[in-house]
């Protein structure tokens, strides 16, 4: 899945009304990166993520099968990383169940959408 497709899924999610509540300060969110936005180097067990650069991922020996990568903060120094396939905004997608949720609502936004918000294109 490329970043344009991921962003389209996000737009459909917003239009569906599934995101009913306003985000609260301190809530855990995930940033989603499409396959075309990251690079994986299995030989050195690293992933290159926009704005973060190359990050070590112990156990990453080869490129996993994935459509998107989710990153969420544990604290100011630690991050969680997960790989998934399919539409992460589809409630039937079991690979998205580990993404942050508040009262059953998914708390994730594609990196490309964050960039658009910052640039005022949303």
Token pair belonging to 95: 């690979």
What is the total count of domains within the chain? Answer: 1
What tens digit of pLDDT does each residue of 32-43 get?
A: 999 999 999 988
Tell me the DSSP string of 27-82.
Answer: ---EEEEEGGG-EEETTTTEEEETTTEEEE-TT--SPPP-SEEEEEESSSS-EEEE
How far apart are the C-alpha atoms of 7 and 34, rounded to whole Å?
Answer: 9
Q: Which domain holds residue 69?
A: 3-14+27-37+65-118
Residue 19 domain flag: no
Residue 99 domain flag: yes
Residues 39-68, mean pLDDT to the nearest whole number: 88
Please state, rounded to an integer, the average pLDDT across all residues of the chain.
86
What tens digit of pLDDT does each residue of 3-21 get?
A: 999 999 998 988 887 776 6
Residue 51 domain flag: no
């Amino acid at each position: 899945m490329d970043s344009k497709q991921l962003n389209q899924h996000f737009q459909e999610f917003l239009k569906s009304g599934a995101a009913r509540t306003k985000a609260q300060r301190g809530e855990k969110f995930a940033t989603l990166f499409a396959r075309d936005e990251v690079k994986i180097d299995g030989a050195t067990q690293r992933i290159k993520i926009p704005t973060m650069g190359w990050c070590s991922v112990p156990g990453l020996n080869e490129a996993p099968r994935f459509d998107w990568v989710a990153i969420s903060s544990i604290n100011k120094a630690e991050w969680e990383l997960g790989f998934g396939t399919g539409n992460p905004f589809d409630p039937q997608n079991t690979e998205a169940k580990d993404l942050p949720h508040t009262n059953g609502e998914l708390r994730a936004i594609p990196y490309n959408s964050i960039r658009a918000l910052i640039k005022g294109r949303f």
